[in-house]
Structure formats: C-alpha cells, structure tokens
Amino acid sequence: MAFELPPLPYAKNALAPHMSEQTLDFHYGKHHNGYVVKLNTLVPGTKYESMSLMDVIAESSKVAADKGIFNNSAQIWNHSFYWECLSPDGGGDPSGALYDALTSSFGSVDTFREQFSQKAVTLFGSGWAWLVKKADGSLAIEQTSNADTPVTGSDTPLLTCDVWEHAYYVDYRNARPKYVEAYWNLVNWDFVAKNLG
C-alpha cells in the first residue's frame, strides 16, 4: 500500500493574496508530493512497508541508518498538518477555550503571535515553528529543524508554520518576516481549537 498525497483542503488559489497559487503549485505540488514519491521508493522491501505513516515516523526516528525514511515520512506529516493550519477563512482572533488557553499561557493573543513569530523568524536554516500542548497540559512554542516534528515526542502539535525557504521564496523572496506576518491572515483557529481538544 503506497503512501498518498492527501488532498489540499482548499483550492490552490484560495490563499491569495497572502500565499499565491504559484507557491501552492510548488510547495504542495512539488515539495510535499516529492516527499510522498520519495518515501514510496524507499520503503518497499523494508519493515516500514506495511506501517502507518505515524509508525514509520516513530520507528525510523530511532534508526540512524533510516534517516532518509524519517525525513520523507515526517515531512509528509508536517506538510499535511501545515495545510490544515491554513484556511481562506482564517485569520483574526481565536475564541472560546483556545482564546482562554492562549491568554493564560502567554498573557494575550497578541503576545502569543509575537512570540510565535519570533520563533519562526529566528529559526536558523530550514524547519518549523510549533504551538504545542505539553504532556502536563501547558502550551509552549517550539522550533524544530529540517524534518523534525513534535510527533516523535510527547507534545501534541496544535499549530505550525513552515519556515523552509520553499514556503515563502516565490511570494516574499528572502523576507521570511513578511511571510510570517502574512501567515497570521490565514491561520485556521478552528483547526487549532480542535487539536487543543
């Protein structure tokens, strides 16, 4: 059973002007799809062949020799999660339990946005910024490098921002801060609230 590219939750032009159709063409159609194609060349004949994507990520993360399998499987999951974090109807402020959780953890939603943006902008090289729920129920903002993902640990991811250059170079060239600023217009708070549970 081959791994598959999940459908985008919206049309490729639905996130414009904050994120262009051309960015989605490349980021979803080439990069995300590329991880799927690559993983499907790596797993046949291995113990990973019949595992779920989550199990592939968890198992390959423990085996140095399977770094390629880890990188591609984790990037498939990270990107599928990232697309769900965005919405043409996104942006604005969260409400309800999520608003309360962000306010009590960070002081205000604006302070949360500032701190998350800071983590996204300052991450050196390629990677991801995350809002996670820790095992003790508290919220935290984290950075992961390259394909690394919170799902290999005990944290529950609530929100992510892809800060690989391929996420913003088409629309914002090297200006990662401009991309992160635009990102807030797309954040799907309903999805974040659902992840908070």
Binding residues for Fe ion (CB under 5 A)? 162, 164, 167
Q: Which is nearer to Fe ion, 84 or 162 (CB)?
A: 162
Tell me how far, at minimum, the Cβ of 192 lies from Fe ion, in Å: 19
Tell me how far, at minimum, the Cβ of 23 lies from Fe ion, in Å: 10
**Which residue is at the shortest CB distance from Fe ion?**
162
For 9-41, letters b (16+ CB in 10 Å) and e give: ebebebbeebbbeebbebbbeeebeebbebbee
For 82-96, letters b (16+ CB in 10 Å) and e give: bbbbbbbebbeebee
Q: Which is nearer to Fe ion, 101 or 176 (CB)?
A: 176
Tell me how far, at minimum, the Cβ of 121 lies from Fe ion, in Å: 16
Tell me how far, at minimum, the Cβ of 12 lies from Fe ion, in Å: 15
Q: Which is nearer to Fe ion, 61 or 75 (CB)?
A: 75
- CB within 8 Å of 179: residues ≥ 6 apart: 163, 167, 168, 171, 172
Closest residue by Cα to residue 82 from 127, 134, 135: 127
Residue 188, H or E segment: none
Give 144's strand partners: 128
Q: Which is nearer to Fe ion, 66 or 162 (CB)?
A: 162
Tell me how far, at minimum, the Cβ of 97 lies from Fe ion, in Å: 29
